[in-house]
Amino acid sequence: MKDNLLLNTIIADTTKTAIDEVLESTSESFGDLLKLANLDPKKHLRYSDLRDVDFTDTDLTHYDFAGCDLRGARGIRVKWSPETVVLTDALIDGSLFAHRMAISTALANPRNKLLHRRISGLSWQDQLIWAIRNVRRGVPDLERNRLVAASLFESTTDSFLKGELLKYLEKSASEGDEQIYNMMLDVINGHSDDLHLIAKTIKILNESQAFGRSQLKAAVEALLSATDNRIVALAISFLVSVGTKGEIRELSEFALNRRAAPLRYAFIGTLAGRLGPGYDVIVRSPINKDFRDTHQGLSAEELLVLIRNIRRAHLNEQAALRNGTLREPRISKEFGEAIDGNFMLEKLDQMFARLAEFGMPRIRIPQGA
């Protein structure tokens, strides 16, 4: 900034100072960055390009997003409502705003509002029965019923009922359905501390056709800053299961440096499961079969135990295949040729190198093994 004479001439000193402070800030809060930039969210954001912005931990009350492009906007613990945020003429497809705005629009219809009032006055058991009967493919007024069910989801405080309503909404969705995707964003934002609901949400994402979307990965990535380590572990596992090699490598820097062992093991276990059952064997301690931190290396004694365990598992599988108690080989598929050809050390070295490609510390075969 200081080296550009043209900008120094055009831009006021206060603006240059604000820009420098934003660039030097380590804060990831959108609200904090606005304050550093001396921008008033009530007037300075209108018609801005805010695609894919992460609003995590931002109070958006009284923000004016009129005419903004907010597609892909996401985050957790974002405080907002259709009544407190201006979204006039804003593009909100695929954003954390889309779901609740759709509900708000639906309930503006007097008939829909009356139906919502009637159903919400029932017991949770009767609400569930209504959803079973009316939120499924092929029933009349399905689109209206899904919006009413979504509004019930928002209004109830019962975590179990929320999970069941979410299940029926997902089952009634067509392939590529935007409503269920937008609802997932809203669930992730508004319920990032609800282990039961987030677990169910991530399960639905794993089973849906939308899981490959880059926006969806970004939405789940916001859960990496959740306060509950169990939810962070779920997010890590999901992102490893659907990520590219480059994305997993980037995630490894976050996951493998966590103080909480379950977060490291969520990364290691999911990656091993993705690469195959043989990898699940080599990332565990050969002594107690628990996941191990691979940066600790592998001693010659542990290597011998690992090879012995693999050979024993191979023999057991072969026996099970012969007597018909096992249909498909698992360990044998990965290690059979190496055992028969007597090149187990080379095979293990290749597998450790493969893990390193995804960001795991490189394990070396002990010298003299």
The total number of structural domains that make up the chain: 3
Q: Are 239 and 218 in contact (CB under 8 A)?
A: no
Q: Which domain holds residue 21?
A: 1-39
Residue 23 shares a structural domain with residue 110:
no
Residue 284 shares a structural domain with residue 204:
no
Residue 253 shares a structural domain with residue 177:
no
The pTM for the full model equals 0.82
Which pLDDT score, from 0 to 100, does residue 6 have? Answer: 47
Using CA atoms, how far apart are residues 192 and 195, in angstroms rounded to an integer? 8
Determine, yes or no, domain membership for 206: yes
- Tell me the one-letter amino acid at 45: L
Q: What is the pLDDT of residues 191-208, one digit of tens each?
A: 899 998 899 888 877 776
Written as six digits, the tokens of 265 are 């093991």
Residue 74 shares a structural domain with residue 143:
yes
Checking if the pLDDT of 294 tops 60, the result is: yes
Which pLDDT score, from 0 to 100, does residue 204 have? Answer: 77
Using CA atoms, how far apart are residues 182 and 173, in angstroms rounded to an integer? 12
Q: Are 36 and 30 in contact (CB under 8 A)?
A: no
Residue 19 shares a structural domain with residue 150:
no
Q: What is the pLDDT of residues 153-170, one digit of tens each?
A: 988 888 888 888 988 998
Using CA atoms, how far apart are residues 131 and 145, in angstroms rounded to an integer? 8
Which pLDDT score, from 0 to 100, does residue 12 have? Answer: 47
Q: What is the pLDDT of residues 269-280, one digit of tens each?
A: 999 999 999 999
Checking if the pLDDT of 39 tops 90, the result is: no
245 burial level (CB within 10 Å; 0-12, 13-18, 19+): exposed
Average pLDDT, the chain: 87
